[in-house]
Amino acid sequence: MSASFATVQPSVRARATLRSRARRADRSSIVVRAGSAAQQKGLGDLDTVKLTAADGSTADVYLFGGVVTSFKPKGGDDVLYVRPDAKFDKSKPISGGLPHCWPQFGPGAIQVHGFARNVDWTLVSTTDGDEPSMTMELTPNDYTKAMWDKDFKVTETVTLKGGALEAKLVVENKGKEAFDFTGSFHTYLSADINAAAVGGLNGCKTLDRLAEKESTVSGDVKFQGPIDSVYYGVPETLTLATGKRTVSIKSSKTWTEAVVWTPWTDMEACYKEFACVESAAVTPVVVAPGGSWTATTTISA
In order of 52, 170, 197, the CA distances from 161 in angstroms are 10, 19, 26
Q: Which of 100, 166, 186, 257 is catalytic?
A: 186
Q: Give me the residue spans of the domains in the chain.
A: 36-300
pTM metric for this prediction = 0.88
65 — alpha (psi -120 to 50), left (phi > 0) or beta? left
Whether the pLDDT of residue 233 is over 80: the answer is yes
State the chain's mean pLDDT as an integer.
92
Per-residue pLDDT, 180: 98
Per-residue pLDDT, 75: 86
Is the separation of the CB atoms in 116 and 100 below 8 Å? yes
Q: Is 186 a catalytic residue?
A: yes
Choose the CATH number for 36-300 among 1.20.120.1460, 3.30.420.40, 2.60.40.10, 2.70.98.10. 2.70.98.10
pLDDT digits (tens, 9 = 90+) for 46-67: 999 999 999 999 999 999 999 9
DSSP state letter for 3: G
Q: Which of 156, 166, 257, 278 is catalytic?
A: 278
Whether the pLDDT of residue 259 is over 80: the answer is yes
Whether the pLDDT of residue 298 is over 60: the answer is yes
Whether the pLDDT of residue 23 is over 90: the answer is no
* Cross-sheet strand order for the sheet of 152-161: 122-127, 133-138, 152-161, 164-173, 292-300, 246-251, 237-241, 197-199, 221-222
